[in-house]
Amino acid sequence: MAEAARKQRSAAAPRPVRCIVKLGGAAITNKGELESIDEESLRSACAQLRRAMSDGTSPEKVMGMDWSRRPGDPADPVVDAEGFAGMAGLGLDSNFVVVHGAGSFGHFQASRSGVHKGGLHSTLVKAGFVATRISVTSLNQEIVRALAREGIPSVGISPFACGWSTRQRNVESADASQIIESLHAGFVPVLHGDAVLDELLDCTILSGDVIIRHLAQLLSPKYVVFLTDVHGVYDRPPTDPNAVLLKEIEVDDNGGWSIVKPALQGNRNGVEISVAAHDTTGGMETKILEAAAIARLGVDVYITKVDTEHSLRALKGDVNASSDDWLGTVIRSAK
């Protein structure tokens, strides 16, 4: 592509993004088992994404786009090249951005070496940085392949490799031109939480939740979905049998928030949170803070459980927080 045309396209406002979705590490990996993918949840999330993207003209047959041989496959993959050639289009409104977390990939390497706290002069931190990136980029590859098997034209994009960096853990520089170019070209960018360089700390871990807030500011999606391993935000850790699911949270202009549904005894607004010891990015606490910042932009946020009817509704943007059969948390602006 000619350089001038490329620059012009980067500068032009992209087609409005429909949805930015986080495939939470807790949702698509087995968090207690090192580098283990929850294949069933990942397959379901990809199939639901395809259904949410379908524009009603999708062909019955999914044109798989993962043409690599998998370990243990007896033969080369069969590629239906003629089937592709005869297709008018994919039948998908693929104007989505996918960001995934690390789950049982990355967090272990990062917490073991302290990458999130910085200090690249230490050999352990340097080694941990490399190990963390190997781990999260290999997960990224598997997620891109799972989406490709569903016929979703996905491309992996690594924040570190695109030069994203932080200052005291806040995003400092984040070149989104590759993401915007990819969307223009009809691809679904698939980013991930990553180890990055930090101006003050040398290095740190950039959470997928923080990436999503940054992208929401830049791309103004219609809605944002966080898929995780619990139904949404509870008033206390969901392992507590008395935990209550908070179905609707309103955020005001100053970032203050109030629980709209259900009405809690004593008008309580606090949420108790527990975070796993090896989690380097703050777990549910970070998610709630980032979700509130996104809601302040006027973008509705849905947090719900992967592989449920509720996750499909969220991905389609078809959520009614006041309906009793919705299980999830809606975080929205009070305005």
Ligand X SMILES: Nc1ncnc2c1ncn2[C@@H]1O[C@H](COP(=O)(O)OP(=O)(O)OP(=O)(O)O)[C@@H](O)[C@H]1O
Ligand Y SMILES: C=C(C)CCOP(=O)(O)O
Can residue 159 be called a binding residue for ligand X (CB under 6 A)? Answer: no
- Pairing outcome for strands 194-198 and 165-167: parallel
Q: Tally the C-alpha atoms within 13 A of residue 183's C-alpha that lie toward its C-beta.
A: 23
E strands present in the chain: 19-23, 96-100, 154-156, 165-167, 170-173, 188-192, 194-198, 202-206, 223-228, 248-251, 257-261, 300-305, 329-333
* Binding residue (CB under 6 A) for ligand Y from 18, 21, 23, 25: 25
Task: Report the alpha-carbon distance of residue 206 to residue 171 in Å, rounded.
Answer: 8
Q: Is 328 in the site for ligand X (CB under 6 A)?
A: no
Is residue 282 annotated as involved in ligand binding?
no
Nearer Cβ to ligand Y (58/166)? 166
In angstroms, the CA 190 to CA 98 distance is 5
Q: Return the exposure string of 49-82: e unless at least 16 CB atoms fall within 10 Å of the residue's CB, then b.
A: bbebbeeeebeeeebebbeeeeeeeeeeeeeeee
229 marked among binding-site residues: yes
Contact 197, 274 (CB under 8 A): no
Q: By CB under 6 A, what part of segment 185-224 binds ligand X?
A: 208
Residues 6+ apart with CB under 8 A from 122: 114
Show the site string, 46-65: x = touches ligand Y by CB under 6 A, - = not. --------------------
| Radius of gyration for the alpha carbons in the chain, expressed in angstroms and rounded | 20
Please count the other Cβ atoms lying within 10 Å of the Cβ belonging to residue 260. Answer: 16
* 101 lies in the site for ligand X, by CB under 6 A: yes
Q: Using the rule CB under 6 A, which residue among 106, 118, 189, 221 binds ligand Y?
A: 106
- Of 200-219, binders to ligand Y (CB under 6 A) are 205, 207-209
255 is in an annotated binding site: no
Give min distance, CB of 194 to ligand Y, in A: 6
Q: Report if residue 107 touches ligand Y, rule: CB under 6 A.
A: yes
**CB atoms inside a 10 Å sphere around CB 221:** 24
Task: Give CA separation, 237 vs 173, 288, 302, in Å.
Answer: 34, 13, 18
Question: Which of the residues 228 through 287 are near ligand Y (CB under 6 A)?
Answer: 280-281
Q: Among ligand X, ligand Y, none, what does residue 280 contact (CB within 5–8 Å per kind)? A: ligand Y
What, of ligand X, ligand Y, none, does residue 140 touch, CB below 5 to 8 Å by kind? none
Under rule CB under 6 A, residue 110 binds ligand Y: yes
Quick one: which of 133, 169, 287, 332 contacts ligand X (CB under 6 A)? 287
* 118 lies in the site for ligand Y, by CB under 6 A: no
Token code pair at residue 109: 């390497």
Q: Exactly one of 120, 237, 244, 334 binds ligand X (CB under 6 A); which one?
A: 237
Segment near ligand Y (CB under 6 A); pick from 118-126, 157-165, 187-195, 261-269: 187-195
Residues that bind ligand X (CB under 6 A): 24-27, 101-103, 208, 228-230, 233-234, 236-238, 271-274, 281, 283-284, 287
Residues that bind ligand Y (CB under 6 A): 25, 101-102, 106-107, 110, 132, 136, 193-195, 205, 207-209, 280-281
Residue list for the binding site for ATP:
103, 229, 283, 287
